[in-house]
Structure 1
């Protein structure tokens, strides 16, 4: 088997960790055998000087 990598963006109103977990959950709908996750970038949207949405760009490694 070959290791493949796909990129995803996760979003959450709660935290960056939740954003990563949401991205992995979304990826698992189409991808089986996930073997690892690399967080590439953390970003957030702000309003009224507060974070209103957390975002995480991730790479998911899986056996395919």
Structure 2
């Protein structure tokens, strides 16, 4: 039987929501092993001077506990 744990992570990027997601997983993988999946719970963006300047994601990362 596998035991899984879920943590919530916030991340941002000046490129895209996809880039913010990739950055979050890479950063989490430095201290969390056995990542199995990521669920994008929420997306938002910051607008300045009528332009999107930052993409933000709220993620749930699932990993297996040994």
User: What TM bracket, shorter-length normalisation?
Assistant: over 0.9
Return the TM-score normalized by structure 1. 0.95
User: Would you say the 8 A contact 1:10–1:21 is kept in 2?
Assistant: no
Paired with 2:38 and 2:46, the residues of 1 have a C-alpha distance of 23
Structure 2 unaligned blocks of 5 or more: none
Query: Please, what TM-score do these two structures have when normalized by structure 2?
Result: 0.93
Match in the other structure for 1:32: 33
Aligned length: 64
Q: How far has the Cα of 1:39 moved from its partner?
A: 0.3
Aligned equivalent of 1:46: 47
Partner of 2:20: 19
Kindly name which structure, 1 or 2, has the bigger radius of gyration based on alpha carbons: 2
Structure 1 residue runs of 4+, over 4 Å off?
none
CA RMSD of superposed structures (Å): 0.7
Unpaired runs of 5+ residues, structure 1, are: none
Contact in 2 for aligned 1:43/1:56 (Cα 8 Å): yes
